[in-house]
């Protein structure tokens, strides 16, 4: 990976390269300090010390206690542990007081790690409320308030969205949950035994946010916070779940009882050392780096909109990750753009159905209330530490031509602000009628 | 002299969520980067002997096609197309346009016999998940041909698309899937519970999923 014009990597939200400083911090722990932290002899104790050091460091940056840190095998696992672990543990308690299986609240724009977990819980009999977002992708805290129920076990709202970069109002949502628990506490004090005052728990998926935003868990007011190394220039396959003291989870993995019994299995010492180092670097440098990236981001967005007609920004204009640019370039299809850019050595991603496993267009763009064409036309550029203005200028040089070419071959002519599919007549003729904007096409 | 096939070891598209890799053959890439018979200006139906436009709202792709046909021989002299579609759709339609116009042009009746498999063969294959993208060309062509029959006053030749067989092994049609959705089966799993559709034919799953989405939108919005 280099920033010459052979390879321009603009997909840092997918994953990042390893920071060389992280790599050198990990070096010692492969061959020399290879011990198992659970072993009692010196080699083991040294590994334990290193692990404890990493845990203390991560805890410090989260403003948490070391025993509140559970290392996992990545972000997805941390999220699964929070959701399944919380739902399964507290569902049993609810059952004891004669309540239903339990209820969860999440948003429609979560990562699949959250959504698929919630869907799996629905199959087990849990009820899940999927909150809508506004046109910029923001969850309304009032909607959370309205969705809360006595049997709500967990609220899971992401800190920042991976596709459109929108930063959610985590503190406000936490405040609403605290107030709700406060009311429950009063009921308990009055002798109501059918209420569990610890619930609901508040979980946030901070995988995209941890390297860039403030992750002070006290300030955020969350009970559970998941993030991983591979999005912040750390190693892949390592993640962490912050678990507030007093919160209990049913483990996903059983065995030797590592990580306070919540995640058995010999700790990935080199990975965890690298994870902590990556988090430290991000923590120290984020202020300066965010300034640089925000400037590049805004430059890129405004140049895209100047040089290419009909470019619509997806996500919030200001409440967004400093490295995220997501636009719909109307009338063209994302995968075709990606293949063209790839031939120039530029790597980006799209919300077009044509690159997803299920062939569903991006659920995030659709949740913004935009028509299918917007999702198929969406391009995500995520900048990173090695991204320079020259890189972006190169993209700005080649992209307009590609767009021009694809627009000339496209029969679609959307207008910015259009909210229905274009050319509905094209969608008729499957032996069915299609109703679009009050008109029926056959 | 022995010719070694060029093995493409760099994936052309990698799914950001699953890591699944898609490889495109050199022929696919050639047709994608240099599509044949494209209509670069607006495709005006009146300027052609036949015109058809199709799409699928769930998939969001769209294709329009114009034909020039020799009325004496009914051979296709020209096929022009435009698409809002992915790389596979572009390559498949480009290849289709070559197939029906090469060697002086195909007769309409022969061209109607071209199946997506034939296009795939000429392209040197497509990733499994992308096969359905080549169907778009076929659908637009059928619609255009019907338009030709209409314009030339041959209504008896118009092909009415009735129930279409989706799963040839189990003889399941789109109507069966429509009914299953109406009965409340909203995803592949529940439709398969009713119909067993696509079990043993993974290549049709994508189309089944699309139909489910299409009918779901239609009836439940």
pLDDT tens sequence across B132-161? 677 788 889 999 999 999 999 998 888 877
Residue of A nearest to B42 (CA): A411
DSSP3 helix / strand / coil % (chain B, rounded to 5): 45, 15, 35
Q: In CATH terms, is domain A8-15+286-405 a member of 3.90.1150.10? A: yes
Mutate to test the interface with B, among A75, A122, A230, A333 (most CBs of B within 10 A): A333
CATH topology classification for B13-157: Sufe protein. Chain: A (3.90.1010)
**A8-15+286-405 and A20-282: same fold?**
no
Percent helix / strand / coil, chain A, rounded to 5: 40, 15, 45
User: What's the topology of domain A20-282?
Assistant: 3.40.640
The residue of chain B with its CA nearest to that of A403 is B84
With a CB cutoff of 8 Å and minimum separation 6, the contacts of A263 are A70, A71, A72, A77, A81, A251, A252, A253
Task: Report pLDDT digits (tens) over A79-108.
Answer: 999 999 999 999 988 887 777 789 999 999
Kindly report which listed range (A200-209, A397-406, A407-416) carries the lowest average pLDDT score: A407-416
Whether A409 and B130 lie within 8 Å, measured CB to CB? no
* pLDDT, mean over chain B: 83
Q: What are phi and psi of B14, to 5 degrees?
A: -120, 125
pLDDT at position A187 is 86
A230 vs B86 pLDDT, higher one: A230
- Cα distance between residue A427 and residue A423, in whole Å: 8
Parse chain A into domains and list their residue ranges: 8-15+286-405, 20-282
Quick one: fold of B165-220?
A: Arc Repressor Mutant, subunit A (1.10.10)
Q: Where along chain B do its domains lie? A: 13-157, 165-220
Q: Which of A47-51, A381-385, B16-20, B122-126 has the lowest mean pLDDT?
A: B16-20
Neighbouring CB atoms inside 10 A of B46's CB total: 6
Token pair, residue B108, equals 């309409």
- State the number of CA atoms in the 13 A half-sphere of B46 facing the CB: 0
Do residues A39 and A290 lie in contact, with contact meaning Cβ atoms separated by under 8 Å? no
Is the pLDDT score of A228 beyond 60?
yes
Q: What is the pLDDT of residue A124?
A: 94
Say yes or no to pLDDT of A2 above 50.
Answer: no
Length of chain B, please?
221
pLDDT-based confidence at A421, cuts 50/70/90?
A: low
pLDDT at A151: 92
Q: Which residue of A has its CA nearest to B213?
A: A360
Catalytic residues of A: 354
Confidence of residue B210 (pLDDT cuts 50, 70, 90): confident
User: Are A264 and A258 within 8 A, CB to CB?
Assistant: yes
pLDDT, average across residues A198-226: 97
pLDDT score of B58 = 57
A354: pLDDT confidence band, cut at 50, 70 and 90?
A: low
Domains B13-157 and B165-220 share a fold: no
Q: In sequence order, what are the residues at sequence separation of 6 or more whose Cβ sits closer than 8 angstroms to the Cβ of residue B175?
A: B163
A409:B40 CB<8 A = yes
User: Is residue A413 scored above 60 in pLDDT?
Assistant: yes
Residue B169 reports pLDDT greater than 90: no
pLDDT of residue B211: 85
Give the best residue of A326, A341, A409, A421 to mutate against chain B (max B CB count within 10 A). Answer: A409
Report, as an integer, the average pLDDT of A41-46: 95
Give the whole-angstrom CA distance, residue A403 versus residue A332. Answer: 7
Q: Does residue B86 have an active-site annotation?
A: no
Nearest to B59 by CA among A116, A339, A366: A366
Residues of chain B contacting residue A427, judged by C-beta atoms under 8 Å apart: 54-57
Q: Return the pLDDT at A358.
A: 55
- Could you give the CA distance from residue A177 to residue A184 in angstroms, rounded to a whole number? 11
pLDDT tens per residue, range A289-309: 999 999 999 999 999 999 999
Burial class (CB in 10 A: 0-12, 13-18, 19+), A442: exposed
Contact B15 A356 (CB under 8 A): yes
As a whole-number percent, the residues of chain A with pLDDT over 90 amount to: 80
Alpha helices (H) in A238-388, listed in sequence order: 269-307, 334-343, 363-367, 372-376
Of A335, A409, A429, the CB nearest to B82: A409
Task: Output the pTM of the full model.
Answer: 0.84
User: In this complex, do A353 and B62 lie within 8 Å of one another by their Cβ atoms?
Assistant: no
Q: Which of A259-268, A379-388, B87-96 has the lowest mean pLDDT?
A: B87-96
Q: Quick one: pLDDT band at residue A435, thresholds 50, 70, 90?
A: very low
Output the pLDDT for position B126.
80
């Amino acid at each position: 990976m280099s920033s010459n014009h052979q390879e321009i990597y603009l997909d840092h939200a997918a994953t990042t390269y390893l920071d060389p400083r992280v790599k050198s911090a990990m070096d010692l722990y492969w061959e020399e300090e290879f011990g198992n932290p659970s072993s009692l002899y010196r080699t083991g104790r040294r590994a334990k010390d290193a692990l404890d050091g990493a845990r203390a460091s991560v805890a410090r940056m989260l403003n948490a206690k070391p025993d509140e840190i559970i290392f996992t095998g990545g972000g997805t696992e941390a999220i699964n542990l929070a959701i399944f672990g919380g739902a399964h543990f507290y569902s049993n308690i609810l059952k004891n007081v004669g309540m239903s299986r339990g209820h969860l609240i999440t948003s429609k724009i979560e990562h699949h790690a959250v959504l698929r977990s919630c869907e799996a819980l629905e199959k087990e009999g849990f009820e899940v409320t999927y909150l809508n977002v506004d046109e910029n992708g923001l969850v309304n805290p009032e909607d959370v308030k309205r969705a809360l129920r006595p049997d709500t076990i967990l609220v899971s709202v992401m800190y920042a969205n991976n596709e459109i970069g929108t930063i959610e109002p985590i503190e406000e949502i936490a405040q609403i949950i605290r107030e709700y628990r406060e009311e429950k506490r009063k009921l308990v004090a009055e002798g109501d035994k059918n209420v569990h005052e610890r619930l609901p728990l508040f979980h946030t998926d901070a995988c995209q946010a941890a390297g860039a935003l403030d992750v002070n868990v006290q300030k955020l007011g969350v009970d559970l916070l998941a993030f991983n190394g591979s999005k912040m220039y750390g190693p892949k396959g390592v993640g962490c779940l912050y678990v507030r003291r007093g919160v209990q989870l049913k483990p996903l993995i059983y065995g030797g009882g590592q990580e306070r019994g919540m995640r058995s299995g010999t700790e990935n010492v080199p990975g965890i050392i690298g994870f902590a180092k990556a988090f430290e670097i991000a923590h120290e440098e984020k202020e300066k780096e965010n300034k640089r990236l925000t400037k590049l981001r805004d430059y890129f967005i405004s140049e895209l909109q100047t040089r290419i007609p009909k470019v619509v920004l997806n996500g919030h204009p200001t409440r967004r990750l400093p490295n995220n640019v997501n636009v719909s370039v109307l009338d063209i299809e994302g995968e075709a753009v990606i293949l063209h850019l790839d031939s120039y050595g530029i790597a980006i991603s799209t919300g077009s159905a044509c690159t997803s496993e299920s062939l569903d267009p991006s659920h995030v763009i659709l949740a913004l209330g935009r028509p299918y064409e917007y999702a198929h036309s969406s391009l995500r550029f995520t900048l990173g530490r090695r991204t320079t203005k020259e890189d972006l200028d190169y993209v700005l040089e080649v992209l307009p031509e590609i767009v021009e070419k694809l627009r000339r071959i496209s029969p679609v002519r959307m207008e910015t602000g259009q909210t229905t599919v274009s050319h509905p007549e094209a969608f008729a003729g499957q032996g069915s009628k299609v109703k679009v904007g009050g008109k029926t096409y056959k | 002299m022995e010719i070694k096939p060029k093995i493409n070891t760099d994936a052309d598209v990698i799914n950001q969520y699953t890591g699944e890799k898609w490889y495109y053959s050199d022929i696919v890439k050639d047709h994608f980067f240099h599509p044949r018979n494209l209509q670069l200006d607006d495709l005006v139906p009146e300027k052609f002997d036949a015109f058809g436009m199709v799409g699928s709202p769930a998939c969001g792709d769209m294709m329009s096609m114009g034909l020039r046909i020799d009325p004496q021989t009914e051979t296709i002299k020209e096929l022009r197309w435009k698409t809002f579609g992915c790389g596979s759709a572009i390559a498949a339609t480009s290849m289709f346009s070559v197939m029906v116009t090469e060697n002086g042009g195909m007769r309409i009746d022969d061209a109607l016999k071209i199946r997506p498999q034939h296009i795939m063969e000429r392209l040197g294959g497509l990733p499994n998940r992308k096969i359905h993208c080549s169907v778009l060309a076929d659908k637009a062509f059928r619609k255009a041909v019907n338009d030709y029959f209409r314009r030339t006053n041959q209504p008896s030749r118009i092909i009415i698309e009735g129930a279409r067989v989706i799963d040839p092994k189990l003889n399941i049609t789109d109507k069966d899937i429509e009914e299953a959705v109406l009965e409340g089966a909203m995803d592949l799993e529940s439709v398969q519970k009713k119909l067993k559709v696509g079990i043993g034919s993974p290549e049709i799953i994508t189309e089944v999923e699309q139909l489910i989405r299409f009918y779901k939108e239609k009836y439940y919005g």
